[in-house]
């Protein structure tokens, strides 16, 4: 039952998400974007969601956009039957005095949501009962833009996370010194970094860090100096080449048996919930019988992306898998079903140089992909290129998402459904744990 303070605004202001607004009516539709929350080991711990209006010049008010974002996240990440799709991963959302009272917050599981608030909202006496109720429900609160915890003991107890900006050491030490016995430790989050050296400084303090889209790729200094494929990568490339040549499965098995760990990882992915084959697969021969060569090529591309742990931190592996699925889902229904595996490989391989620490053209020279896949990866052109460009825009700030989606005759709802479904799917696949 909803708390009496929550109210829904009358639906006269803007069109509901997924419905085209009437002429001159403010448009609440938009595109989901996010920043990743990384721990000191560069593993993904959460996502900070945002909403990029589809029509900036005719966008609905901030509350309507917030409601649209919550409705979208609830629909695709919190299925009534399947439940929360992201496991223990947290969602961070920015709320204001106007949006915190909307009923759409109830569409998400409280224990998995962190509400990012300013001190003025916490200090608002008119909202205190609402804030206290939300905390009782299990929602977490991150205090943003403050240099100290509230003096009010009741409000201080509400704060579970604290935005420490760039990670000022004096502020971090002071907040840790104020930790109260018997209470869970305050989670300190760095929200502003400009380079990876800043991340390393924050990690040294055991802080978690938000990294936004444009900064997700490690810099050149993070790649291996020699730029050569590692032995494990070369073995996977050999297997991919054999599949492309349609060699006998017994020959492929013979090569695969050289590396028991690789065999284990491949079978683990094929049997993961993300595949859903329905029957446990025990051998390469069984996998070929059940799935065929094209899906095996796809999963070998996943293993290739994860074959150089020194070059590719866990969050990059998860990002690549998620991008592959995102690109694939956007093409579903628009391109022939036979293109699905190519679309997935396009998304995965668009980050392969960063994942392996090897120049893109060198990798592509060893794995013979189709011309359409090459065009997409190298120039964002051809049949697959526009889907990749749209995925990249949504991963960053969504600035080009509306125009790219329009060119593909896709609605914002279709793009968001593919995006959040890919987020959940990558969670099931669990690439970060494989590193």
Residue 275 is predicted with a pLDDT of 60
The overall pTM is greater than 0.75:
yes
Contacts 24+ apart (CB under 8 A), 84-88: 84/109, 84/112, 85/423, 85/424, 85/427, 86/112, 86/423, 86/424, 86/427, 87/427, 88/112
Residue 1 is predicted with a pLDDT of 39
Strands (E), 208-331: 208-211
Instruction: DSSP letter for 168, please.
Output: -
Strands 78-79 and 83-84: antiparallel
Q: What is the pLDDT along the chain (435 residues), one digit of tens a residue?
A: 344 555 444 344 455 555 555 556 788 999 999 999 999 999 999 999 999 999 988 889 999 999 999 999 999 999 988 899 999 999 999 999 999 999 999 999 999 999 999 999 999 999 999 999 999 999 999 999 999 999 999 999 999 999 999 999 999 999 999 887 777 889 999 999 878 888 999 999 999 999 875 554 544 444 444 467 777 888 888 888 888 888 888 888 888 878 877 788 778 777 776 665 567 777 777 877 777 788 888 888 888 888 877 777 889 889 999 999 999 999 998 999 889 889 999 999 999 988 888 888 888 888 888 899 999 999 999 999 999 999 999 998 899 999 999 999 999 999 999 999 999 988 866 543 333
At 416, list the tokens.
């968001």
Residue for token digits 């009534």? Answer: 80
Strands 30-38 and 83-84: unpaired
Per-residue b or e along 239-277, where b marks 16 or more CB atoms closer than 10 Å to that residue's CB: bbebbeeeeebeebbebbeebeebeebbbebbbbebbee
With H, G, I as helix, E, B as strand and everything else as coil, classify residue 83.
strand
What whole-number distance in Å separates Cα of residue 214 and Cα of residue 108?
A: 27
Please classify residue 232 by burial: count the beta carbons closer than 10 Å to its beta carbon, then call 0-12 exposed, 13-18 middle and 19+ buried.
middle
Residue 225 is predicted with a pLDDT of 42
- How many residues comprise the chain? 435
Residue 432 is predicted with a pLDDT of 37
CB 326 within 8 A of CB 419: yes
* Residues forming beta bridges with residue 53, ordered by sequence position: 30
Closest to 339 in 3D by CA, of 351, 349, 327, 348: 327
Residue for token digits 């100290």? Answer: 148
Residue 222's φ and ψ, nearest 5 degrees, are -85, -10
Residue for token digits 């120049």? Answer: 359
Angle 234-235-239 from CA coordinates, rounded to 5°? 115
């Amino acid at each position: 039952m909803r708390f009496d303070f929550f109210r829904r605004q009358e639906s006269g202001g803007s069109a509901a998400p997924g419905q085209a607004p009437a002429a001159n009516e403010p448009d609440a539709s938009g595109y989901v974007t996010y920043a990743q929350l990384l721990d000191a080991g560069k593993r993904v711990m959460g996502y900070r969601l945002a909403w990029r209006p589809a029509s900036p010049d005719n966008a609905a008010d901030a509350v309507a956009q917030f409601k649209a974002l919550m409705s979208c996240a609830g629909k695709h990440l919190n299925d009534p039957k399947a439940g929360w799709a992201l496991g223990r991963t947290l969602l961070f959302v920015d709320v204001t005095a106007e949006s915190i009272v909307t009923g759409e917050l109830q569409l998400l599981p409280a224990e998995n949501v962190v509400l990012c608030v300013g001190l003025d909202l916490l200090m608002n006496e008119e909202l205190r009962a609402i804030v206290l109720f939300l905390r009782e429900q299990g929602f977490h609160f991150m205090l943003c833009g403050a240099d100290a915890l509230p003096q009010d003991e009741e409000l201080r107890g509400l704060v579970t996370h604290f935005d420490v900006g760039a990670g000022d050491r004096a502020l971090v030490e002071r907040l840790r010194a104020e930790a109260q016995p018997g209470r869970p430790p305050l989670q300190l989050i760095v929200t502003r970094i400009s380079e990876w050296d800043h991340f390393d400084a924050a990690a040294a303090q055991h802080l978690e860090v938000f990294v936004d889209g444009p900064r997700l790729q490690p810099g050149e200094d993070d790649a291996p100096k020699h730029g050569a494929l590692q032995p494990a990568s070369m073995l996977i490339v050999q297997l991919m080449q054999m599949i492309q040549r349609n060699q006998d499965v017994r020959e492929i098995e013979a090569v695969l048996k050289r590396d028991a760990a690789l065999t284990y990882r491949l079978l683990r992915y094929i049997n993961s919930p993300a595949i859903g084959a329905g029957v446990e697969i025990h051998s390469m021969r069984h996998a070929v019988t059940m799935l065929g060569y094209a899906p095996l090529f796809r999963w070998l591309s996943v293993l290739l992306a994860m074959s150089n742990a020194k070059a590719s931190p866990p969050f990059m592996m998860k990002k690549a898998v998620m991008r592959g699925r995102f690109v694939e889902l956007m093409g579903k229904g628009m391109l022939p079903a036979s293109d699905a595996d190519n679309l997935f490989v396009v998304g995965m391989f668009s980050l392969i140089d960063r994942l392996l620490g090897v120049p893109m053209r060198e990798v592509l020279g060893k794995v013979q992909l189709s011309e359409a896949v090459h065009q997409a990866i190298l120039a964002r052109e051809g049949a697959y290129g526009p889907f990749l460009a749209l995925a990249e825009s949504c991963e960053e700030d969504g600035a080009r998402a509306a125009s790219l989606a329009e060119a593909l005759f896709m609605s914002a709802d279709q793009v968001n459904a593919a995006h959040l479904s890919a987020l959940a799917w990558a969670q099931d696949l669990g690439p970060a744990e494989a590193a």
